[in-house]
Every structure is written in structure tokens, then in C-alpha cells.
Amino acid sequence: MAGHNILFEGLLGEVKPARPFADNPKTGQSLTYQDVLDQSARYANALVALGVEPGDRVAVQVAKSLDMLLLYIGVIRAGAVFLPLNTAYVAKEVAYFLSDAEPALFVCDPGSEVRSPIQDTFASLRIETMGADPGTGSLVALADEQSAHFDTIARGAQELAAILYTSGTTGRSKGAMLTHANLLSNTRALVDSWAIAESDRLLHALPIFHTHGLFVACNTTMAAGSSMVFLPAFDAAAMIELLPDVSMMMGVPTFYTRLLAEPRLTRDRVAHMRLFVSGSAPLLAETHQQFEERTGHRILERYGMTETNMITSNPYNGERRAGTVGFPLPGVEVTVADPATGDPLPSGEIGSIEVRGPNVFEGYWRMPEKTRSEFRDNGFFITGDLGSIDPDGYLTISGREKDLIISGGFNIYPKEVETVLDAHDRVLESAVIGVPHPDFGEGVVAVIASRDGDTANEDELRALAQSSLARFKQPKRFFFVDGLPRNAMGKVQKQELRTRFKDAFSEA
């Protein structure tokens, strides 16, 4: 190689080329580690041929596939910055990310509905395609013409490896800048903490446009030299069939609730399994207990976020306490502090969860003031979550300082949804909240105050949301009220609404 590329070498520098890497049972595609090295080199060569230079962003909105995963490695090898986008984002949302990140290349599905409007809006942006089926798309065809040799471009520990856009409760989406060191340090901590070995085989059914499916699942697999069964999407019936062939599974709480609905999920079927991991949203203690009673396995719950990668984990060896997210990972410091002062709070007291370590991101893309406001002077990042640490050191998350909604593992900020709904001519104002949902953890609820007593039409509001928002952001239920509750300062009291409509999905 021309120089040291910290992340690439850490993930694939010592692999055994002949070992299996991943199989996609839906498409029949199968890769060895030699295939990963060869194909990622072809993608890196293709990127260079398209004019992508070190530090350039490569935005990708394509269906989950092994080709997308190979492209990720190719981007890293080319010294560029990987920017994956949720496949549910509509054209207006994608246009914002592209205008903010200014990528050198945008990769989308050949049949993507966003392609034409993006071409119209960004006339000079290079657009290539990648299909869900193996070998389809213009970028795949270009890569097939390239050499399987590439002199991987040197990138240091503090160089950017990826930008992931994350939501807040107000304002625009923010691009979290993740370095080679951020990703590699967290990967190594997880491999050690969860005892991931070359002999492991992971059942992978997560999306790979966010931290959990891409960095937690795929990076740890590569770093350990283990293998994956790579499903394009969650499919409970297929996963039940595949469980006897794997040793690990990573999922969000929704996966576990749906697997529990399958009669074929039995103790015998998973007797050989080594580890079940859950994250991205709170796992109900009830689900934890039901899964253990059915299978004999105690799910390992962990805690992380886009800006920090993984922060804590229940122990692999030791008591996994339902309702907690365990202890800080090696090299990571966690404190529960007074939100106003940043001073550490005594054990058991609820406060602001704050984190410091090599896993913590560099800041928000082109938002220096926002970055500074999210860090304490001592270097601790303010997560925005509230929690407490018990006398034994287990961290419990109590809620969020702001009103961020997490539904099915995806972050949703209410302001964006409210802006869309408020545009309807019969909506005076709206308040969007998250309330308990048996499948998604939280479900999106819209509370609507109509204009001049002229009640807005629910079907029209649903259509408006569908045209402007990704499906996971769209309200699942609408409630109509005479007016929104406010405090003396005029602020809408969302906690009062959450209490009032807390049973919205148990009644639905």
C-alpha cells in the first residue's frame, strides 16, 4: 500500500483471504475475504476514475446489498468519506443532505424516485446507480471493468471516514463527523467486550445506512475475521429458519417482539447460539423476560448513538440487568451530571448522561457553534439523554432531555413533522409526540388544533405527510383537540400530551 489507512488496516489488514465473509440467502451471492479485498479495490478504482478525491463525500442511498457494503470499503480505501442515507428519505430530504454535504458523487437505485428531481436540482452532481440485485447498476458495471489491485490511500486516525446525519428536536439535521479512530476504537472495544471470534457467524438483518447495522455489525465481523448471513431486510420467518446456522444475532427491540410471535422460536432451535444483542431503542423489561423464558438466552442490551458509536454494554460474562444498558465500554468514560453545571451527580440520581473517549465524534459538519454547545469544557459530550448509575455501576436511561422520538430504532425530530402538518390550511398548530408502541418502542402521534373550528381532514393530513416525509416519520395516529396545552411562558406542554395519549396504541 502507498501508506497507512487506519480503518482499512484495522478491519481487513490481517484477514485470511480464503475464509467466508458473507452469504445472502435471498440472492445466492457469497463472498470470501479475498472477494472483499478484490471487489473493494475495484470500487476504489471506479471512484478515482469518477474523480473522487481523498476527503470527498460519497453519498449513497441504495437498498441493502453486499455491493453496498463493498462500496463502503472502497470509499474508505479511496480516502473518501462514506455518507449513507436512509432509503426511506424522499427527494426533498435527500436534497437537503446533498446541499449540506456537497458530495462528489451520489449513488442511488436505478429506479429511484429521487433520481430525476435530484438531477434537476443538482445539475453538476455526478450520479451513478447500484441495484439491489447483484451486478446491477452503472457503478457496479464500472467497478467490474477495474483492476482488483488498488494502492489504498493513506488516512490517519483523525481523518474523516464517515458522516451520518442525525436528528435533533429542533432545527435542521446535523452531519456527525466520524473519524477512522472513532470507528476503529469502538470496533475493537466491542470485539473484546462481546468475545467475537473468527468462528462466529452473525445473523445480519439490520439496515446498513446507520451505526448499528454498518459499524457495530459489519465492522466487528471484519475485525474478528468472522462471517455473516446477510439478509436484505428483517424477515421473521426466514430468520427462524437461519438461526440454527449462526452463533450471534444483533437486532432492535422490534426484531425480538416479532420473533417471539413465531411459535418456531424454541429453546432447542437456539440452544447453540452464543449471543443475542439489542440496541437502537429501549428494550422493554417484559420483552427481555419473555425472551429468556422462551429461549433460555438473556439478551445483551447496549447503548450508543450516532455521535458516539457504542457507549455502554451489559456484560458478556456477568449479570445482564433488564432495563439497564450496563457499563462503559473499555476506554470510554460515562458520567451522569447536573444538566446546568456539568457537575457529576451521586449514584442513583437522575441527570444528564455525558461521555468522553476515542469513540466520540469530531463534531457536526459545518456547524462549529452547535458542536461547541454540545461539549463541556472538560471534553465530555452531552448526549441529551437522562439517566442514572446505580451503586453497582449499571447505567439506566430514564428519558431524553428533549423531545426526540425513537421509533423502530430510527430518530425522528418532531419539529420536522410539525412543519409539514402546519402547512395544511385547516391546521392552526400541531404537536408531534412519541408514545409507547408495542412493536416500535415509540409510535409517532400528531395532536392537531384545527383552525377556526374547521376540523382538518385526517386523510388529507396523512397524504400530506406521505408526500413530504419518510414513512417512519409519518404519524401513525392523529388526535384533534380544541387547543394545545401551554405553560405560563406559552410553551406547548408535550409531557401533558404524552400522558394524555399514552395509551394511543393499546387502544388502536
Q: Are residues 358 and 413 in the same domain?
A: no
Cell of 462: 396523512
Same domain for 191 and 302, yes or no, is no
Last residue of a domain, one of 400, 419, 451: 400
Per the listing, cell 397524504 goes with 463
Its domain, for residue 450, covers: 405-507
Rounded Cα–Cα distance for residues 478 and 459 (Å): 10
What CATH number corresponds to the domain at position 308? 2.30.38.10
Q: Do residue 43 and residue 76 come from a single domain?
A: yes
Task: Show the 3-state SS of 51-80.
Answer: CCCCCCEEEEECCCCHHHHHHHHHHHHCCC
Judge whether 33 lies within some domain.
yes
**What's the CA gap between 114 and 89, in Å, rounded?**
9
Three-class SS state of 262: coil
- 374 and 409 inside one domain: no
pLDDT of residue 238: 96
Residue type, 236: A
Number of structural domains (the chain) is 3
In a domain, 35, yes or no: yes
Domain match, 295 and 442 both? no
Which one, of 233, 189, 192, 173, lies nearest residue 27 by Cα?
A: 233
Q: Are residues 27 and 89 in the same domain?
A: yes
Tell the burial category of 123 from Cβ atoms under 10 Å away from its Cβ (0-12, 13-18, 19+).
exposed
Same domain, 69 and 119: yes
Residue 50 belongs to some domain of the structure: yes
| 360 in the same domain as 332 | yes
446 assigned to some structural domain: yes
Specify which residues 444 forms β-bridges with. Answer: 434
In a domain, 343, yes or no: yes
Q: How far apart are CA 355 and CA 344, in angstroms?
A: 12
Instruction: Give yes or no: residues 422 and 385 share one domain.
Output: no
Phi and psi at residue 59, to the nearest 5°: -90, 135
∠ CA 168-208-99 to the nearest 5 degrees? 50
Quick check: helix, strand or coil at residue 314? coil
Contacts of 463 (CB under 8 A, 6+ apart): none
* CB atoms closer than 10 angstroms to residue 398: 12
What whole-number distance in Å separates Cα of residue 155 and Cα of residue 290? 46
User: Does 146 share its domain with 217?
Assistant: yes
Tell whether 260 is covered by a domain. Answer: no
Count Cβ atoms below 10 Å from residue 273 Cβ, excluding itself. Answer: 17
Using DSSP, state whether 171 is helix, strand or coil: coil
> What does pTM read for this prediction?
0.85
User: Is the four-CA dihedral 206, 190, 285, 240 of positive or negative sign?
Assistant: positive
We report the CATH number of the domain holding residue 166 as 3.40.50.980
Last residue within a domain, chosen from 340, 373, 400 = 400
From first CA to last CA, the distance across the chain in angstroms is: 59
Is 249 within the bounds of a domain? Answer: no
Q: What are phi and psi of 61, to 5 degrees?
A: -130, 85
Angle at 20 between CA 15 and CA 21, to 5 degrees: 70
Domain containing 413 — which CATH number?
Answer: 3.30.300.30
Q: Are residues 227 and 152 in the same domain?
A: yes
Check whether residue 142 and residue 11 sit in a common domain: yes
C-alpha span between 63 and 230 (Å, rounded): 13
Say if 220 falls within a structural domain: yes
Each residue's pLDDT expressed in tens, for the chain with a length of 508 residues: 446 999 999 999 998 999 999 999 999 999 999 999 999 999 999 999 999 999 999 999 999 999 999 999 999 999 999 999 999 899 999 999 999 999 999 999 999 999 999 999 999 999 999 999 999 999 999 999 999 999 999 999 999 999 999 864 445 789 999 999 999 999 999 999 999 999 999 999 999 998 999 999 999 999 999 999 999 999 999 999 999 999 999 999 889 999 999 999 999 999 999 999 999 877 878 889 999 999 999 999 999 999 999 999 999 999 999 989 999 999 999 999 998 899 999 999 988 999 999 999 999 999 999 999 999 999 999 999 888 999 999 999 877 777 778 899 887 878 889 889 988 989 988 999 999 999 999 999 999 998 876 788 999 999 999 999 999 999 999 999 988 997 644 568 888 999 999 999 986 5
* Separation CA 384–CA 367 (nearest Å): 18
From the CB of residue 379, how many other CB atoms can be counted at a distance below 10 Å? Answer: 12
Contacts of 416 (CB under 8 A, 6+ apart): 167, 469, 473
